[in-house]
Each structure stands twice: as structure tokens, then as C-alpha cells.
Structure 1
Amino acid sequence: MDRRDTDVATELGIYDEAERWFVHLLEPDCPADARAAFERWLAADPAHAAAYRDIEQLWKQSKDALKDPAVMAAASRALLREPSVRSPKRWLIPTFAVGLAALLALAIVPRWLAPPADPAGIAYTTAAGQQQAVKLADGSSILLDTDSKVVVRYSERTRRVDLLHGQAQFTVQGNHAWPFVVHAGSGTVTAVGTQFQVRLDDQATDVALLKGKLAIAAQSPDGATQDASLVAGQALTYDQSGHITPVHPIDLQQAQGWTQGKLFVHDWRLPALIAEMNRYSDTKLQIGDPSLQDVHISGVFRTNDQQTLLLLLQQGWPIHARRISATQIELLRNR
């Protein structure tokens, strides 16, 4: 046996060990001393750790492959056709063997068995202060709010829209055989014949349903999924960790206000109003006096009319505005 053959044999031996440890650790009654022995084996050689990581990745991918009927059928055929070349005493449990075969089948399944990939998609973007109405091929429509971006991907299997940032209202033509799915943040919103809004920021995704029904699924970083549903007049929020808040009723006037270029404000704190108005302008307002943080505001404000907002604030509250740059205005308390 030459050196190359020796290296290959050594590598295969390490993978055999890694597989045995992986299966052994899956056992619910795996003793503590066995886990300690595994840790010693893992630390003994960087090649051990690398092989074990590969086995873990194979396991994850093979579990995913098991969900595909076409892959499973090909895997079963592969298992029936391929003679065993290893000892029947091998420590691979059946599920792991089938999972590895399913992973192998991914490479041999004909292209016509695999589901077609979603198309690249068409992107629609609005700048600060802009709104855009998008008519889709099936008669559905999207109303994009200020500083927002979506990518629309239609295929034979699904109607998919990715909301990358901002806010949009979706009016969907019903088709139970052709689901309309919005991907936003850590979750998805699936609709059939509905009108709803989705808003995505750095922290969370807000979903508000105006008509029809919705199904929401949010996924945590570790893959756990939480599900919820909405009927007309309800809303919820899910965050980046996949947690979904309890369902709550929506303020319909407030929810529809931005589609008319208005903010219906009911007892908002001044920072919240400023943050919302800033979304619609390149000139940003900022609070320069901490005592203004707890000022509460009510009223109706036009999203594209910052000057009128400033006049109303200065007339109705002890506030004055001071421009500090071409793109910044500071709000201070009158003394």
C-alpha cells in the first residue's frame, strides 16, 4: 500500500470512529463516562473534530432530504441496488443509513425529479418619502411604503414575495392551489384571497390583517417553528428569535392611514411620532431636550409634510425647532 492509500485508509478510519461516536451519543441512555471518553477523543486530534463536524452536517442534510418524496424514493432504490461493502456489525442505526443514502441520492436524482427553483425575481424599491403601487401578473397588488424593498418571485409552485425592509400592503387574488407567501425577517406569512400589511424593521416583523385569513410561521435560529393564524381585524408581531406575540385587535384607521399619506396619532410619545415621520423624509428630526421624551401627542399628520408638523408642534406644545444642518432639525423645549 503506497502512502496515498495509507492516508485514505487513515481518513476513512477516522470517519468510521466519528460515525460510531455520533450514533453512540444519540442514545438517550448514553453514560457520562462515554461522553467523557468522546471529549478526550475529540480533543486528541484536529482531524477528529473535523470529521465529527462533517458527520453532524451530513446528519442535518440527510434529515432535510428525508422530507422530499423523490429523494426518498431514489434513496430506497440506491439502498436496494448497492451491495454492502462493510461489516454487518457496523454501528450505523437504520435511520442514519437511510439519511446518508438520501443525501447520496441528491446527486443522482434526475433533474426532472427535482422541484424547479424559484426564479431570480423582480425587485421594487422606494426611497424616503416615496410610495409605489405594483400590479402583479395574477391580478394581486403590492403598495410599497416609504424606504421599502420587495423582491417578487412567481413560479408554477408558489407566489413568493421577500420583504427586505420597510412596509407593504398586499392585496391578494385567491388561489388555493397557488399560495401567496411573504417572507419577512424570521418568518413567513401565507395568504389566500386577503388584504394585509407587513412591516419589517431591525427588531421585529408586524403583521396586520385587513380582510380574509392568514397563516404565520416564525422560525428560531435553532430551527424550531412557532405558528399562528389571523382573521380580519387582528394583528401580531414576531421577532428575530422566532417568538410570536399574542394576537391583538388592530386600529383600522391607523393601519390604513399610511396608505392615504396620513398618520393617525392617538396619545403617542413624541419620540415615536418623530421616528415615524423621519421615515418619510431625508431631513431628520431629533429631540435635543430630554424633558421632551414624555410629551404625548394626538392628531392627524401628513407623512410628506414635515413643515406643517413642526408648525403644529410649536403652536400646540412648549417646543421650538432649530435647524442644525442641511439634514437635521433639533427640537427643544421653550424656556
Structure 2
Amino acid sequence: MIKDRKSSARTTREAADWLDRLDTPPHETEELEAFSAWRADPENRAEYERLEDIKRAMATMRDDPDMREAAAEALQRGVTRRKRYSPLARRPRWLVGGLVAACLVATIGAFALRMPTYSTRVGETFSATLEDGSHVQLNTDSAVRVRYSAGQRRIELLRGQALFQVAHNAQRPFIVSAGNTQVRALGTRFDVRKIGDDVRVVLVQGSVEVSDPAVRPAPWRLKAGQSLALPRTASGATTPTTVDTPSATSWTTGNLTFQGVPLSEAVAELNRYSRDKIVLAPGVPADRLVTGVFPAGEQGDFIAAVSSIFDLKSVRKSNGDLELQPQGPTSG
């Protein structure tokens, strides 16, 4: 047991050291190779990512109103404690400052624990049950930060896509923010996607209220089976549209469903699930429509289908990407 604790402490120290070293570029090739070798150990990798999450949470909490209020309370507790116990007032200033700093650290630590971050890498999915019984399912290359308080349940979609199954609680609204867009629900099931500055909301069940003050002052109210797309160029004329929800959320079952989607859009969607990308060469009919169901993260079936339909061939590039090219004229 003591050996395990020592090993865990050593891993934490090493992870903290790497986090600090990599935060100050430039980096030599040998250093990056050493980090890659160290991070190959699953325990090292998990601890490094845990410290990364804490660091990100600390950075985002600097300007957070709740954090500022909690920090002020922690400072006040330190001042009150110093006044209450007169011997403390005669102790060295550095000791008093240390006690106040300890209050701040404890407060920040409590906030970090209340703000878990869940994330996935390219090609991964992840599901979690939150403290209130709500469920969140993350798609490929996605991240959310959970911020629950007594009065509301707030989740920030940092990137990617997530499906939410919300436990009903009228006294604690469930709010998902994605950039400037907010989705408010009481008890429902909906999908939110954030790629860059573009946001899309798909309502599977129940009702939600979507607001984006940068687009228009009044919120949109969606019904089950509706979708609202808010691209960065969105205007107040943006309106909800009817959508096939099983197709829009098919990623939760490991598939991608396309119904009359331009080839270029289908390729862009499939590329989200793989580090090796599909590239359309000049001359490929990028606006031709694609319909079909394909496994997410597996390019073979998709490439075989579109190559047959549109008379294409695939060529593996030196960087691992697959380029779809028009078939050359056959010689007689």
C-alpha cells in the first residue's frame, strides 16, 4: 500500500514537471520523444490528463463570477480568522498570507471538483451519468465542462457534439452553452453540436428554448423532431427545420446516416472520426448527393460505395490521407 502511494506521488510529480516543461516552448525533438515515451504508460497518461483538466479549469475560473465571489469569501474568512485570534495578528506576515492562500487553494480545489471535464479524442465516444441522474454521450473529438449549482445545472460544450438525456427538475434548469448559444431544458433529450463557431441543436424529445443574443433578442422554442442551425453568419431570419432525428443522432449507435447529403459534406463528416482524412481531388463531383448508412470511423465502406457510384478511385497519399480521384480514361 505504501509502495502504491509512493508510486502515485511520483507519477503526479512527473506529470506536473512535464506539464510545466511543455508550457514553455521551444521544445527540442529529444524532449518531445522523451515525453511521448513517458506518456505511453497508461497511468502516466491518465495523471497528465487529470492535471491538464485542473489547469484548464483554473484558467477558465479566473473571470468566473462565482469563482470571484468564492475567492472573496475565502479571503474574508482569512481576514476574519486573523482578527478573531489576536496571537495570529502578531505572527509573521508570510504566515498569515499562507493561511489565506490555503483558503483560496481549498476553494479553487472545491470548484475544480464541481466542474468535471469530459472529453474524447478523434474516433472515441464516451458516456457518463451526471450527479442529478442526467446522461451525456460525447461524440468524436468532443469536450464538455459540467458546472452544477443549487439553482441550475449548466454544461459548457467546449467542442464537438454531445447528446443529453435530462433528468426532470423544474427547480434546477438544465442549460447547455456552446459559444454564444444557450439551450435551456427541463426534462428532455437533445443533441448539440459545435464545430468552430457553428452550432446546431437537434431536439429528439420534449422541448427546449434556444437563445443567441448575437443573432436575435427573442429565443427560439423547438419541438420534438426539429433542428436549429446557427452558423457564424446566422441572422435573425434563421428558423427551425424538421429533421429525421434517428439519422441526426445515428452517431450514438456507431453509424453515420446520410440522406441526400452533398459528397463534400459527407466526406467532412466522416473525416471527424479519423486522423487519416479523405480528400477530394479536382474534378470529383463534390456536390453530388450521397445516401447511405456507414460505420463511423471506418472509411472503407464509404470509399467503396462512392467510388462505384461516381466512378472514382482512391489513392493513398504519403501523409496517410486518401485522395478520391476521377477514374482516368480506359485504354482500348
Question: Shorter-chain TM-score: which interval?
Answer: 0.5 to 0.7
Q: Is the 8 A contact 2:191 2:249 kept in 1?
A: no
Asked if 1:325 is matched to 2:302, the reply is no
Q: 2:145 aligned to 141, 148, 151, which one? A: 151
Alignment counterpart, residue 173 of structure 1, candidates 167, 170, 176:
167
Alignment deviations for residues 45-67 of structure 1 (CA, whole Å, 9 cap, x no partner): xxxxxxxxxxxxxxxxxxxxxxx
**Equivalent residue number for residue 217 of structure 1:** 211
- Structure number with larger C-alpha Rg: 1
Q: Deviations for 1:138-190, whole angstroms, at most 9, x for unmatched residues? A: 11010000011100111112111000110100000000100110011212101
CA change 1:285–1:238 in 2 (3 A) is: same
Q: Tell me the equivalent position of 1:135.
A: 129
Q: Which of 270, 276, 290 matches 1:277?
A: 270
- What secondary structure, in the 3-state scheme, does the structure 1 residue paired with 2:141 have? coil
State the identity as a percent.
32
* Residue of structure 2 equivalent to 1:234: 226
Amino acid at match of 1:284: K
In structure 2, how many angstroms separate the alpha carbons of the residues matched to 1:118 and 1:247?
36
Structure 1 segments, 4+ long, off by >6 Å, are none
- Relative to structure 1, is the Cα distance of residues 234 and 294 closer, same or farther in structure 2, using a 3 angstrom cutoff? closer
Question: Residue 161 of structure 2 contacts residue 192 of structure 2 at CA under 8 Å; is this kept in 1?
Answer: yes
Tell me the CA shift for residue 203 of structure 1: 3.7
Task: Please give the alpha-carbon distance, in whole angstroms, between the structure 2 residues aligned to 1:147 and 1:139.
Answer: 24
Match of 2:196 among 175, 197, 202: 202
What is the CA–CA distance in structure 1 between the aligned matches of 2:285 and 2:168, rounded to whole Å? 47
Amino acid at match of 2:223: V
Q: Distance in 2 between matches of 1:119 and 1:220?
A: 32
Cα deviations by residue, 1:261-305 (Å, 9 ceiling, x for unpaired): 111112221111110000000100111123422332211111121
1:262 aligns with 2:255: yes
**Aligned partners of 1:323, 1:239: CA distance in 2, in Å?**
33
Question: Quick check: 1:126 aligned with 2:113?
Answer: no
Aligned 8 A contact 2:119 2:141 in 1: yes
User: Post-superposition shift, 1:194?
Assistant: 0.2
Distance 2:234 2:167 in 1: 28
Q: Which SS does the other structure have where 2:249 is aligned?
A: helix
CA distance in 2, matches of 1:316, 1:211: 36
Stretches of structure 1 that go unaligned for 5 or more consecutive residues are 1-116
- 1:118 & 1:226 partners in 2: Cα distance? 33
Is the CA contact 1:220–1:241 (under 8 Å) kept in the aligned structure 2? no
1:232-263 Cα offsets, whole Å, 9 max, x none, are: 11111224467452111111221121111111
SS of match in other structure, 2:218: strand
- Give the whole-Å Cα distance in 1 for the aligned partners of 2:308 and 2:252: 27
1:307 aligns to what?
300
Post-superposition Cα deviations, 1:191-230, rounded to whole Å, max 9, x if no partner, equal 1110000011224211111111101110229xx6331111
Task: Count the aligned residue pairs.
Answer: 218
Aligned partner of 1:18 in structure 2 is: none
The SS at the match of 2:302 is helix
Q: Residue in 1 aligned with 2:240?
A: 247
1:121 touches 1:154 (CA, 8 Å); kept in 2? yes
TM-score, reference length from structure 1: 0.61
Q: Does 1:293 align with 2:293?
A: no
**Structure 1 residue 315: Cα displacement:** 2.8
Deviation at 1:120, TM superposition (A): 5.8
Q: 2:184 matched to which residue of 1?
A: 190
Amino acid at match of 1:201: I
